[in-house]
C-alpha cells in the first residue's frame, strides 16, 4: 500500500524523482505586478491601497460585512478573542487537535484553554462533546456561563475548521447562544470552505483567517478578521493600528494598542492570490477526488468533506487503522522524498497546557495517533491563465 500511495503522488505531480513538499505556494498570477507596484508606490507599510482592496475582496468573497487585515492569523485570533470579551483568568473552550496558534492566542490574554473532543467525521470541535461538557460542567448565572467546579467564567468557544473541513457550525452557534457564549471561528485553514453554502468564518461573532506560506492562499504572512458587527470591526481596526486616533500630525492614542496591521506589501501579494483562489480550489478538489478514488482500494481511510459542506481540501488527510502503520508510512514516504506528516501533537499533551481542564478526548487521541497529511499543492498547469 505504501508504495502505491507514493507512486500515485509522484505520477500526479509528474515528478519521478525530486522531493515533493506537503504544500507549496503558487505565484502565477498578478503576484509580481502588484508587489512591484506596492514597492514603486513607496507605500509598503501599514498605509496603502492594497490593504483596503484586500479587505474589500475578502468581504466580497466571504459575504462578511466587515474585514480587518492583520499581520498574521495568530494576531487575528488574539484580537478576535479580546473583542469577544475574553479576559485574563477566564476559560476558552477549544479543541486539543489543532495548531498551537489557537492556544497561544488564548494564552496572550492570560486566559486558559479548555479542551473538548473533536468529531470523527470533520476532525473539528464536536457539537455533541461541546454540549455534553457545557451541560455537565457549567452553570449559567446572570447571562454568563461559569465552570461550576472552579467558578471561572467560560468566555468563548473557538472551533477550528480542520484542514478546511467545516465543523457543524449551525448547531454550534445554537449551543453557544443557549449558553451565552461568543463564538470565534478559527478559520485559519478554511479560506474557500463553505457550510451549507455560506462561507466559514461568517457564522460566529468573529472569523480569523491566515495567509501564512503553507495556507491555501498566502501573502508570506498575513491574516484577516471578519465580522458582521460594525462596532467590533471599527475597534479591531483601531486596536490593530496602535489605537492611534487618526489625525494629520498628532500622535494621540486612547487604548493599549497593537502593531497588528497587515503591511501594504503583503496585501499586494494577497490581492493577487485571492484573484486565483477559485482556480486553486478547483485544482485542490480534483486532487482530493483522485485521492478518494485511490483510497477506496486501500486499507486507509481518506478524510472526505462532510455531507453538509464544501471543503477547500487545504491539506488532504488519511487515517490508518493503527499507529504502527501510520509510523511505517511516515518513514516510507519521507524516505522516498514524498513529504507527509502526522497531525500536530495534541495541545493537552504539551507542557504548557497539560494542567488544562478537559472533557473526554477519545477521538482526538485516536486521530492524532493514526492521521497522516498528504501532499496537497495546487498543480501549476491547472492554474496557468491567459497573459495578464
Ligand atoms: C495557520 C493557523 C493559524 C494562524 O497562523 P499564522 O501563522 O499566525 O497566520 C491559526 N490556527 C490554525 C489552526 C492554523 O492552522
- Whether pTM > 0.95 for this model: the answer is yes
Residue 117 is given by DSSP the state: P
What cell numbers appear for 53 in the block? 482592496
What is the DSSP secondary-structure string of 247-302?
-SS---BSS---B-BPPHHHHHHHHHHHHTHHHHHHHHHHHHHHHHHHHHSSSSEE
The per-residue pLDDT for 384 is 86
Q: How far does the centroid of ligand 1 lie from the alpha carbon of residue 308, in Å?
A: 24
How distant, in Å, are the alpha carbons of 47, 358, 363 from that of 92? 34, 11, 20
- Joined grid coordinates for residue 276: 486565483
Judge if the beta carbon of residue 69 lies within 6 A of ligand 1.
no
Instruction: Give yes or no for residue 73 CB within 6 A of ligand 1.
Output: yes
How many CB atoms within 10 Å of residue 16? Answer: 8
**Nearest alpha carbon, ligand 1 atom 4:** 73
Grid cell, residue 317, equals 488527510
Q: For residue 101, give the 3-state DSSP assignment.
A: helix
Asked if residue 160 has its Cβ within 6 Å of ligand 1, the reply is: yes
- CATH classification for the domain delimited by 2-26+278-382, as one of 3.10.180.10, 3.30.428.10, 2.30.29.30, 3.90.1150.10: 3.90.1150.10
DSSP track, 75-94: HHHHHHHHHTT--TT-EEEE
Q: Is the dihedral of CA 38, 42, 46, 50 positive or negative?
A: negative
Q: CATH 3.40.640.10 occupies which residues in the chain?
A: 31-275
What residue ranges of the chain are covered by domains with CATH 3.90.1150.10? 2-26+278-382
Q: How far apart are CA 216 and CA 211, in angstroms?
A: 8
Taking Cα atoms as reference points, which of 178, 174, 271 lies closest to residue 219?
Answer: 271
Architecture of the CATH domain 31-275: 3-Layer(aba) Sandwich (3.40)
Asked if residue 188 has its Cβ within 6 Å of ligand 1, the reply is: yes
190 CB within 6 A, ligand 1: no
Instruction: Give the pLDDT confidence score for residue 51 in this predicted structure.
Output: 97
Closest atom of ligand 1 to 211 CA is 9
Q: What share of the chain is helix, strand, coil (3-state, %, to 5)?
A: 40, 20, 40
Residue 299 CA: distances (Å) to CA of 28, 322, 362, 375: 37, 11, 22, 19
Cβ within 8 Å of residue 23, ≥6 positions away? 214, 314, 315, 375, 376, 377
What is the predicted pLDDT for the residue at 388?
47
* Alpha carbon of 201 to ligand 1 centroid (Å): 14
Instruction: Using 70 as the pLDDT threshold, list the residues of the chain that sit under it.
Output: 385-388
Amino acid at each position: 500500500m505504501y508504495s502505491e500511495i507514493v507512486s500515485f503522488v509522484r505520477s500526479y505531480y509528474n515528478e519521478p524523482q525530486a522531493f515533493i513538499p506537503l504544500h507549496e505556494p503558487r505565484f502565477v498570477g498578478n503576484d509580481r505586478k502588484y508587489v512591484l507596484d506596492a514597492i514603486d508606490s513607496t507605500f509598503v507599510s501599514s498605509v496603502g491601497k492594497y490593504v483596503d482592496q484586500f479587505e474589500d475582496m475578502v468581504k466580497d468573497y466571504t459575504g462578511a460585512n466587515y474585514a480587518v487585515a492583520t499581520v498574521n492569523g495568530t494576531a487575528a485570533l488574539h484580537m478576535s478573542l479580546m473583542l469577544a470579551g475574553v479576559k485574563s483568568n477566564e476559560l476558552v473552550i477549544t479543541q486539543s487537535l489543532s495548531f498551537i496558534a489557537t492556544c497561544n492566542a488564548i494564552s496572550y490574554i492570560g486566559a486558559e484553554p479548555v479542551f473538548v473532543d473533536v468529531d470523527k467525521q470533520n476532525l473539528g470541535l464536536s457539537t455533541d462533546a461541546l454540549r455534553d461538557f457545557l451541560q455537565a460542567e457549567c452553570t449559567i448565572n446572570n447571562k454568563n456561563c461559569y465552570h461550576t467546579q472552579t467558578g471561572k467564567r467560560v468566555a468563548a468557544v473557538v472551533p477550528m475548521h480542520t484542514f478546511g473541513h467545516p465543523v457543524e457550525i449551525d448547531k454550534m452557534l445554537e449551543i453557544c447562544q443557549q449558553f451565552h457564549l461568543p463564538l470565534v471561528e478559527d478559520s485559519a485553514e478554511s479560506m474557500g470552505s463553505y457550510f451549507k453554502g455560506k462561507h466559514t468564518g461568517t457564522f460566529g461573532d468573529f472569523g480569523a483567517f491566515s495567509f501564512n506560506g503553507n495556507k491555501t492562499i498566502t501573502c508570506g504572512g498575513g491574516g484577516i478578521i471578519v465580522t458582521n458587527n460594525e462596532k467590533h470591526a471599527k475597534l479591531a481596526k483601531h486596536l490593530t493600528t496602535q489605537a492611534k486616533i487618526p489625525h494629520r500630525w498628532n500622535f494621540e492614542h486612547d487604548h493599549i494598542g497593537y502593531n497588528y496591521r497587515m503591511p501594504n506589501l503583503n496585501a499586494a501579494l494577497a490581492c493577487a492570490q485571492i484573484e486565483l483562489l477559485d482556480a486553486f480550489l478547483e485544482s485542490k478538489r480534483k486532487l482530493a477526488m483522485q485521492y478518494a478514488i485511490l483510497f477506496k482500494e486501500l486499507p486507509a481511510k481518506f478524510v472526505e468533506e462532510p455531507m453538509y459542506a464544501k471543503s477547500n481540501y487545504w491539506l488532504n488527510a488519511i487515517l490508518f487503522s493503527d499507529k504502527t502503520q501510520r509510523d511505517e508510512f511516515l518513514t516510507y514516504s519521507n524516505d522516498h522524498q514524498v513529504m507527509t506528516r502526522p497531525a500536530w501533537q495534541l495541545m493537552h499533551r504539551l507542557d504548557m497546557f497539560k494542567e488544562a481542564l478537559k472533557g473526554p478526548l477519545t477521538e482526538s487521541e485516536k486521530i492524532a495517533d493514526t492521521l497522516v497529511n498528504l501532499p496537497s499543492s495546487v498543480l501549476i498547469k491547472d492554474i496557468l491563465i491567459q497573459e495578464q
